[in-house]
Structure 1
Amino acid sequence: MQTAISRGLLSVLVSIPLVSACSGGSSTSASTSGASQCSGASCGIQGAPTSAAIQPLCPTEASIAQNTYLGGAGSGEIVSLKIDPTSMSYTLKWLESPIPLTAGQVTPTRAGATITGAVTHRTDLPSAEQNRCAFVLQPGNGTASDGSAYATTGSFNASNPPTIFVGYGVAGGGIPGAEVQYPGILGLFSVPDRKFDFYPFIGFADVDTNLADLKGTYNGLVYHLQPSDNYRAVGTNTTETFDASGNCTSSAGSCTTTGGTWAAASAGSYFTSSNPPRIVGGATLGSGAHANMVLARFNGALVPIVVRTGYANPGTLTVDDESGIAMLAAAGNIASGTLDGGFVGADSNFKYTATLIQGTSGKFVDPPTSTAESTFTLDYPSSNQGLLSVQDSAGNAGFAIATGFSPSSTVGGLFAILLQGTENGGIAASSSIVGQTTSSTPYFGIGAFAGAH
Structure 2
Amino acid sequence: MQWRSILLAATAGACLVLAGCGGGGSGGSGSGDSAASNASTGGSTQANALCPSSLDYSTVYTGGSGAGELVTVQLDTTAMTWKVTFLKSPIPAQTGTATPTRDTAPYNVVTGTLSRVTTLPTAKLNACAYTLNGASLDASQPARIFVGNGVAGGAIPGATLSYTSPVGTGSISPKTFPYYPFLGFSTLDTNLANVASTFNELGIHTVPTQSYTSVAVDAQYTISASGTYSECTTGSTCKTGTGAFTLDSASGTFWAADYIDEVSPTNPANAPQGTGILIVGKLRGQDVPVLVRVGAANPLTFVVDDESGIAVLGTQTTIASGSQDGEYIAVDANLQYRSVLLVGAQMSLLDPFDASNASLASTYDLDYTQSTPGVVGVTPVSGGSGETGKTIFNGGVIAYLDTASATAPYFTAGAFVESPSGSPNP
Q: Same fold (TM over 0.5)?
A: yes
| Matches for 1:43-122 after TM superposition, within 5 Å | 56-62=49-55, 65-112=57-104, 113-122=108-117
Query: What is the match of residue 397 of structure 2?
Result: 414
TM-score (norm 1): 0.81
CA distance in 2, matches of 1:280, 1:126: 43
Query: What is the match of residue 302 of structure 1?
Result: 287
Query: What is the match of residue 128 of structure 1?
Result: 123
Deviation sequence 1:308-361 (CA, Å, 0-9, x none): 001111331211110000100221110000121111011101011011111111
Which amino acid is the alignment partner of residue 283 of structure 2?
A: F
CA distance in 1, matches of 2:372, 2:125: 34
CA contact (8 A) 1:214 1:246 kept: no
Q: Secondary structure at the match of 2:52?
A: coil
CA distance in 2, matches of 1:23, 1:97: 32
CA distance in 1, matches of 2:207, 2:366: 29
* Cα distance, 1:263 vs structure 2: 0.7
CA contact (8 A) 1:391 1:419 kept: no
* Cα distance, 1:32 vs structure 2: 3.8
> 1:245 and 1:13, CA in 2 relative to 1: closer, same or farther beyond 3 A?
farther
CA contact (8 A) 1:377 1:391 kept: yes
* Cα distance, 1:186 vs structure 2: 2.3
CA distance in 2, matches of 1:200, 1:259: 29
CA contact (8 A) 1:24 1:299 kept: yes
CA distance in 2, matches of 1:103, 1:21: 37
TM-score (norm 2): 0.86
* Cα distance, 1:297 vs structure 2: 0.8
| Matches for 1:385-396 after TM superposition, within 5 Å | 385-392=373-380, 393-394=382-383, 395=385
CA distance in 2, matches of 1:267, 1:110: 18
| Matches for 1:119-198 after TM superposition, within 5 Å | 119-139=114-134, 155-198=136-179
Range that drifts further, 374-383 or 227-236: 374-383
Range that drifts further, 198-207 or 125-134: 125-134
Query: What is the match of residue 238 of structure 2?
Result: 254
Say whether residues 1:199 and 2:180 are aligned partners.
Answer: yes
CA distance in 2, matches of 1:103, 1:14: 44
Which amino acid is the alignment partner of residue 12 of structure 1?
A: A
> 1:28 and 1:234, CA in 2 relative to 1: closer, same or farther beyond 3 A?
closer
Query: What is the match of residue 290 of structure 1?
Result: 275
Pick aligned residue for 2:300 from 309, 315, 329: 315
Q: Taking every aligned residue pair, what percent have the same amino acid on both sides?
A: 37
Query: What is the match of residue 434 of structure 1?
Result: none
Flag as ranges the 4+ runs of structure 1 deviating above 3 A.
Answer: 26-32, 249-253
* Cα distance, 1:391 vs structure 2: 2.0
Range that drifts further, 227-236 or 108-117: 108-117
Pick aligned residue for 2:330 from 345, 353, 364: 345
Which amino acid is the alignment partner of residue 400 of structure 2?
A: I
CA distance in 1, matches of 2:97, 2:410: 28
CA contact (8 A) 1:95 1:267 kept: no
Which amino acid is the alignment partner of residue 19 of structure 2?
A: S
Which amino acid is the alignment partner of residue 9 of structure 2?
A: S
* Cα distance, 1:265 vs structure 2: 2.2
Deviation sequence 1:413-450 (CA, Å, 0-9, x none): 1100000137xxxxxxxxxxxxxxxx982000001112
Deviation sequence 1:143-176 (CA, Å, 0-9, x none): xxxxxxxxx6xx5222212211000000001111
CA distance in 2, matches of 1:220, 1:185: 37
Which of the two has greater helix per residue?
1
Give RMSD over aligned pairs. 2.2
CA distance in 2, matches of 1:335, 1:383: 13
Q: Secondary structure at the match of 2:14?
A: coil
CA contact (8 A) 1:89 1:116 kept: yes
CA contact (8 A) 2:163 2:174 kept: yes
Query: What is the match of residue 20 of structure 1?
Result: 19
Pick aligned residue for 1:451 from 411, 418, 421: 418
Which amino acid is the alignment partner of residue 72 of structure 1?
A: G
